[in-house]
Amino acid sequence: MKKVDKERCKTLLKQIIDHIDLEDRASRERQLRVWRRLKLLWEGYSRTWYSETAHDWRVWDEQDQSNTDQEYYDKPINIFRAYLESIIAALSVLVPPIKCYPDDADNPLDIATAKAGDKVAQLIYRHNDVTLLWIHALFVYCTEGMVSCYHRPECDKEYGQYQEKEFEDVDETHQTLTCPKCQNIIDDITLEEGDKPEKVSQTTCPSCNNEVTPISEVSEITVEKFKQVLNSDKARIIMECYGGLNVKTSNWARSQKDLPYLQYAYETHYANSINKFEDLRDDEDFKKLIGAKSPGAYDQYDQWARLSPQYQGEYPINVVTEKYTWIRPALYNILVADEDVNYLKKKFPTGVKVSMVNSIIAEFCECCLDDEWTVLYNPLSNYLQDDPIALLITSTQEIVNDLVSLIQQTIEHGIGQTFVDPAVLNLKAYASTESTPGGMYPIKQGSLGGKSIGDAFFETRTATLSQEVIPFLSAIQSMGQQVIGALPSLWGGQIESKTASVYSMSRSQALQRLGNIWKMLLIWWKNIHNKTIPMYMNTIKEDEHDVRQTEDGNFINVFIRMAELEGKIGKVELEANENLPISWNQVRDSIMQLLQSSNPKIMEIFCSSENLEIIREAIGLTDLYVPGEDDRNKQYEEIKLLLQSTPLTDSEPSVPIDPIYDNHVIEFEIVRKWVTSEEGRLAKITNAQGYKNVLLHGYQHQQEIQQSMQPQPPAGGPPQPNKQGNVPPAQPNPNVAREAPIMGDQHVSTVQ
């Protein structure tokens, strides 16, 4: 881009961003105040107050309460975080798995691409540690009310490299000789620099076989020629989740398509900004920031809200704000001149992404907002921006803090004070005397004046805790659990009934309360991968592979081949249903209940060799020996060897069976399961000889099974020949019917 156009774009885009910064300014400051306080409560800073001078929540300390002793009794218990962690733990048992569907079920290319999409989804999961990403998304949703996913391709050498051929356009001079009769090109001569065109002489045209004098033409042609082989960095899809503290959107927007812009901001060291945007080093305005000890706050309110609670009122030095703004083409219309509006629409027809460091525009490029962002839609709110559920528990946290402080003070002041007449008791002598059981202590003679010794002492009335405090504390906690949805059965707390059925019912009710959150997160997750899977497919330049572990413990390469990406994915759905995932304890309880069942079908399922490992892990006895597990692992290892070789003959596999020591029933079932699996069906196409090798091996197991089912000879062995060398006939089976000899036309009978 020319320098003139670049400066004009910066000027126009800066006007649009200034317009965005002023929108919803007052309401955003209120939102930042709420989100900041919730972050402090999560960290355990519940004794806070808001300072209009610092525009931040301040934490009470001894300096703030130097004239009181209240801080001695303030020992807050962080139930705010405990309740939220219970909800996050219940919703993070399972990260929803992805399933891709072809655009046309009858198109083999679409089917192959859909299967490749499943592999891509698992690769994206591994690259982004989605278990941690999912937990962080839940944390952001609970404490900020809105969660957005920023997904983008990123190239880096650490992701690997691939070789890419580089071509360049070269201008060449060509002399073409054309037949004047049939217009066929007889010859095409490349002329080097300085060469003169060759003289034309009479020749025979290979097309029309006529003796002709060709027509000579010299022309300049641009051709593409190979230049060199480059080592290019591979790309990955990076996924990050942020809330309202980092992402600014319009408060009036009801869905993502209504958003005219989206701003994402965070703080970093200015050296990182220079490393990312090298042109900043020559920018005069940015040079002023480098020389300053603290570059200062460009957007102070937002920076303070995003500041780590660990600073506790301080501010990090050498920190700048990097802000990225995605602008839709509709927002160009805020410019006054139609000429400027049309200019930006022509330059950035799908939208523009502007990168800024503080108030300096560092970079801009064409980019669509929806390609890189997916914002959670909450059907329980009329707008994208909504209050976080953590607000529901703040009042409970404050009341619990007050009650705990009150109870502690009451207990300490429960020991009354005693006032004594020093004329009766020598306090100095008493303090130096060792206290012993049944000890006797003298008093001063004549000091009572005819009064009793009890008149010389007075004990103040002790403080007692109201009987309503403890029930009120329990009621407050119960109400807080109901409001936030973190019932005791959700996190394993004690409930009134101790029966398993009542506890299970209570847990189901607690999870049902969280079902709405789970459903909206599922749709949000699906929409994210509707974008990330095709995005990753577009970045692949050569066949990719991922190493995975099979059920038998072996490692295999799963390939994503370029030939599989020629089709089209119709849609992306979730394999998880809308019900909340169940925890390990629930799986164990379900299996233990089923094991007590006498249903033969259920027992057949549990006795399957493929389910033995699942049952062992569910009951928690991982060291328990399961009969048949070694046979199962042995057969999977043999299948791997069979696939790597070919049959010895048309009927003999390269890995023979052991007729004595093999468990033929289990090993044949493993072979049968592998043949019908996706891996087996793929091997049938890509490795026909290896597939046949496995079939022959399984056939030998089947023959051994059939042979074992045949009737066995008597215990004494087969009949032996007599002295004449004849073998006596076998005894007839009395249970088998036979025909009687025919005595006549009317006499036909059967003898049993």
Say if residue 295's pLDDT is above 50.
no
Say if residue 497's pLDDT is above 60.
no
Contacts of 668 (CB under 8 A, 6+ apart): 698, 701, 702, 705
pLDDT, average across residues 713-725: 54
pLDDT of residue 20: 93
pLDDT of residue 463: 67
Whole-number Cα distances in Å, 608 to 75, 173, 439, 601: 56, 75, 80, 11
Question: Angle at Cα 309 formed by Cα 306 and Cα 314, nearest 5°?
Answer: 90
Backbone phi, psi, residue 268, to 5°: -155, 165
pLDDT of residue 282: 78
pLDDT, average across residues 535-553: 81
Measure the CA–CA gap between 118 and 403, rounded to whole angstroms: 54
Q: Are 592 and 621 in contact (CB under 8 A)?
A: no
Contacts of 677 (CB under 8 A, 6+ apart): none
pLDDT tens digits, one per residue of 478-495: 888 878 877 776 655 555
Buried b (16+ CB within 10 A) or exposed e, 211-242: ebebeeeeeeeeeeeeeeeeeeebbbbebebb
Buried b (16+ CB within 10 A) or exposed e, 3-12: eeeeebbeeb
Percent pLDDT > 90 in the chain is 28
pLDDT, average across residues 461-482: 80
pLDDT of residue 173: 87
How many other β-carbons are positioned within 10 Å of the β-carbon of residue 573?
Answer: 15
The torsion of the CA quartet 512, 516, 520, 525, rounded to 10 degrees, works out to -20
Say if residue 52's pLDDT is above 80.
no
Average pLDDT score, the chain: 81
For tokens 């007050």, what's the residue?
402
- Looking at per-residue pLDDT, the higher value among 232 and 426 belongs to 232
pLDDT tens digits, one per residue of 387-406: 999 999 998 888 888 888 88
Measure the CA–CA gap between 112 and 567, rounded to whole angstroms: 7
Two structure tokens written together for 410: 């009451």
Q: In what order do the strands lie in the sheet with 215-233?
A: 185-191, 161-178, 215-233
pTM value is 0.70
Backbone phi, psi, residue 294, to 5°: -130, 115
Say if residue 45's pLDDT is above 70.
yes
Q: Are 603 and 594 in contact (CB under 8 A)?
A: no
Measure the CA–CA gap between 242 and 387, rounded to whole angstroms: 15
Say if residue 294's pLDDT is above 60.
no
pLDDT of residue 258: 93
| Residue 563 burial class via C-beta count within 10 angstroms: exposed 0-12, middle 13-18, buried 19 and up | exposed
Measure the CA–CA gap between 486 and 480, rounded to whole angstroms: 8
Two structure tokens written together for 269: 């060291």
Measure the CA–CA gap between 752 and 715, rounded to whole angstroms: 27
The model's confidence at residue 583, banded by pLDDT at 50, 70 and 90, is low
- Looking at per-residue pLDDT, the higher value among 337 and 300 belongs to 337
Lowest mean pLDDT among 72-86, 441-455, 472-486, 522-536: 441-455
pLDDT tens digits, one per residue of 151-204: 999 988 888 888 777 788 888 888 888 888 888 888 888 888 778 888 888 888
Lowest mean pLDDT among 249-253, 468-472, 700-704: 468-472
Nearest residue to 19 via CA among 273, 354, 288, 316: 354
How many other β-carbons are positioned within 10 Å of the β-carbon of residue 332?
Answer: 22
The model's confidence at residue 607, banded by pLDDT at 50, 70 and 90, is low
DSSP 281: G
For tokens 């330049």, what's the residue?
541
Say if residue 214's pLDDT is above 90.
no
pLDDT of residue 293: 47
| Spacing of C-alpha 477 from chain mean position | 32
Q: Are 534 and 237 in contact (CB under 8 A)?
A: no
Whole-number Cα distances in Å, 91 to 43, 514, 558: 21, 8, 30
Say if residue 19's pLDDT is above 90.
yes
Measure the CA–CA gap between 327 and 116, rounded to whole angstroms: 33
pLDDT of residue 736: 47
pLDDT of residue 614: 66
pLDDT of residue 371: 94
pLDDT of residue 140: 95
Q: Give kind and range of the element (H or E) at residue 600.
A: helix 600-606
Buried b (16+ CB within 10 A) or exposed e, 721-742: eeeeeeeeeeeeeeeeeeeeee
The model's confidence at residue 227, banded by pLDDT at 50, 70 and 90, is confident
Measure the CA–CA gap between 562 and 482, rounded to whole angstroms: 53
Whole-number Cα distances in Å, 488 to 56, 273, 397, 472, 481: 35, 48, 17, 18, 8
pLDDT of residue 329: 95
Say if residue 752's pLDDT is above 70.
no
For tokens 């629409």, what's the residue?
345
- Looking at per-residue pLDDT, the higher value among 503 and 267 belongs to 267
DSSP 211: E
Contacts of 205 (CB under 8 A, 6+ apart): 179, 181, 182, 184, 186, 212, 214
pLDDT tens digits, one per residue of 106-130: 888 898 899 899 999 999 999 999 9
Measure the CA–CA gap between 685 and 334, rounded to whole angstroms: 59
pLDDT of residue 715: 56
pLDDT, average across residues 505-520: 74
DSSP 80: H
